[in-house]
Copies of this chain bind each other. A is one copy, B any other.
C-alpha cells in the first residue's frame, strides 16, 4: 500500500498539566495525516471539497496509546490505507518515537458528498477507481 510519512514536533500547548500530550490532540494529527495521505497520492483535500464537494467523515476509530510523549519530542506518523470497501475505507496510522511504536490508530471513513438539499446534507458515494488505484500501489 501507498504510505505517507509526516514529522510532528510536540508543542507546549499540546500538553496537559501532567506534561504529556493531551490525547485529543493525536486525533487532530491523524485527521491531518489522513488528508496528507490523499494529497500525496494526488488527491488534495481542497480539490476534493471545492470541485467535487467530497469530504471523508470518520465513522469509527480505535486508538492505542503505548508511550506518552512530552513537549519538544519529535514523532513520525506513518499513514496508509488498510482496506477499501465500496464507499468506506480504513486508514491506519502508526506514530513512531525513534524506532518505537508510541501510538497506533485505525479509522473507518466514508467517501461522502456534501448535499445541501438532502435531509442529512451528507451522502455516501462509491470511491472512484482512480483513488483506489493510486492509494493501493506501493510507493514512497
Contact = CB atoms under 8 A, between A and B. Distances in A.
A63 interface: yes
A45 B12 contact: yes
A122 interface: yes
Query: A-side binding surface: helix, strand, loop or mixed?
Result: mixed
The 5 closest A-B CB pairs, nearest first, are A24-B27, A46-B72, A62-B62, A11-B32, A17-B19
Contacts of A122: 18, 20, 68
B61 A63 contact: yes
Contacts of A114: 18
Interface stretch (A51-59, A79-87, A92-100, A132-140): A51-59
Given A59-B65, A60-B63, A13 B24 contact: yes
**Which of A18, A49, A55, A66 has the most chain B CB atoms inside 10 A of its CB?**
A18
A22 interface: yes
B58 A18 contact: no
A125 interface: no
B63 A35 contact: no
Nearest to A65: B59
Given A59-B64, A63-B60, A24 B31 contact: yes
B27 A12 contact: no
Interface string A91-126: 000000000000000000000001000001110000
